[in-house]
Amino acid sequence: MTFALGPRARAQNYRLAAFDSIGSTNAEALALARAGERGPLWLVTDQQTAGRGRRQRAWVSPRGNLAATILETVDVQPPVAATLGFAAGLALEAALQAVSVEYRMRSGGAGKGEFLLKWPNDVLADGEKLSGILLEAETIGGGLSVAVGMGTNVVSAPEGTPYPATSLAALGITASAGDLFMALSDSWAEFRGIWDNGKGFSEIRRLWLERAAGLGEAVSIQSNGAPVEGIFETIDDTGCLIVAGRDGKRTAIAAGDVHFGSAKSSGAT
């Protein structure tokens, strides 16, 4: 598989390290950061053998799927850097839209392929998981090195997962991992610029909410071992999910697994 940066990414001096196969693009990015790499550097492959998602869950990425990590050094505190995950979601959604143009033209804009952002770190296609994001950061050499990993099921999706998964191929979209990466490198440059070291998060937040799955609907969130149920109202200016309970109380959730509907109907445990 041949990978190349898009024209916008090249113009902004992003660099690229492509691998035929690698254990984890995030792990390699942080290892490079510890060795002195400051980025901005993309690490990309179409076969990842030891990928992981949030909470050290395995991320299955067989040959043909996309695993990409952007390594950057930012001069912000970790809570601000964490909001880069929302810029990553927007970048992935924009890239998926870009490579889906041919499909949408063939289908007259109908059929499968509606992409939505699921808090905190997934992209859904027709309600099934298509992409995931993992953001990791370390303070190295006086700066904060941030590795934002983005994985997409291009040719295949895992089976038996807690949340149903799909792939671009299953949606009838024939783009390759290389096609998607080129679009992603450009859309990342765009939304990274809007984010602007956290100063532009209000705009990122607005754009993210326009694409949010389940907004205004019932949700159940597993947070610290106990479910929180209510209506997904918004995300706040730190990226926390705001849930409005039946009693009118608004709860801010910093991390957790989201299920749409009540705990009983969604199967959350």
Given 210, 232, 247, the domain boundary residue is 210
159-179 burial, b for 16+ CB within 10 Å, e for fewer? eeeeeebbbbbbbebebbbbb
- The CATH code of the domain that includes 137 is 3.30.930.10
* Better pLDDT: 3 or 58: 3
In this structure, is residue 199 part of a structural domain?
A: yes
- The count of structural domains within the chain is 2
Contact 69, 25 (CB under 8 A): yes
In this structure, is residue 228 part of a structural domain?
A: yes
The residue segments making up the domain with residue 234 are 218-266
In this structure, is residue 36 part of a structural domain?
A: yes
For position 248, what pLDDT does the model report?
82
In this structure, is residue 1 part of a structural domain?
A: no
Residue 163's identity, in one-letter code, is Y
Do 112 and 170 lie in one domain? The reply is yes
Residue 111 has pLDDT above 50, yes or no: no
Tokens representing 25 are 């693009």
For position 84, what pLDDT does the model report?
97
Provide the whole-model pTM: 0.91
For position 50, what pLDDT does the model report?
76
Do 144 and 21 lie in one domain? The reply is yes
Do 185 and 222 lie in one domain? The reply is no
